[in-house]
Amino acid sequence: MQLSAPHHDERLTAPRSWWLIAGLTGVAGALMMLPLGTLALVAGLVGGTALAGLMVSSYGSARVRVVNGTLAAGDARIPVAALGEPEVLDGEDARAWRTHRADPRAFMLMRSYVPGAVRVPVVDPADPTPYVYLSTREPEALAAALRAAGARSAA
């Protein structure tokens, strides 16, 4: 079976400033090891930078994809047929749905450093999840891909 190309594929990478902070964490590790000698200093620099970089990379590796009638968001795989009409959120709306309007039962793949989002209701009556909230840098494109995949699965 041949897989079709994704309608939407996005990686929610961490901002560049976080990588700078990871480097500074390595410098801090080196300075803590300074009294123990040069070798310890280098080990603190390399180890601290690598550990902080691994954490930033791990957090920034979330992907949002729409492919083969499925929404793949982080570790979740949701059939588009189980989803309703996507709602594009920006600025204050996205912030509100991340904070005081959020439902604890919702599936949320959110990154506070990404300003846009899409909220999609879950229409499957067997699923207690009320909606899916997805941070995205391209909310219009993600909503369009979900609509296109939903139209294909309905046909």
pLDDT in the model for residue 2: 46
User: Longest C-alpha distance within the chain, in Å?
Assistant: 69
- The answer to whether the predicted template modeling score (pTM) of the entire model surpasses 0.75 is yes
pLDDT in the model for residue 47: 96
DSSP strand E in the chain: where? 8-11, 63-67, 70-73, 76-79, 87-89, 107-109, 117-121, 131-135
Instruction: From 129, 127, 123, select the one nearest 154 (Cα to Cα).
Output: 123
pLDDT in the model for residue 101: 94
Range 88-127 burial, b when 16+ CB lie within 10 A, else e: bbeeeebeebbeeeeeeebbbbbbeebebbbbbebeeeee
Contact assessment for residue 86 and residue 97, using Cβ atoms and an 8 Å cutoff: no
pLDDT in the model for residue 150: 78
pLDDT tens-place values along the chain, 155 residues long: 445 555 889 999 999 999 999 999 999 999 999 999 999 999 999 999 999 999 999 888 899 999 988 999 989 999 999 999 999 998 899 999 999 999 999 999 998 888 899 999 999 999 999 999 999 999 999 999 999 887 776 65
Burial of 148 (0-12, 13-18, 19+ CB in 10 A): middle
Nearest-10 Cα torsion for 26, 29, 31, 34: -120
Distance CA 122, CA 20 (A): 39
Q: Sketch the domain layout of the chain as residue ranges.
A: 9-59, 67-154
Length of the chain: 155
Distance CA 86, CA 119 (A): 6
pLDDT in the model for residue 91: 85
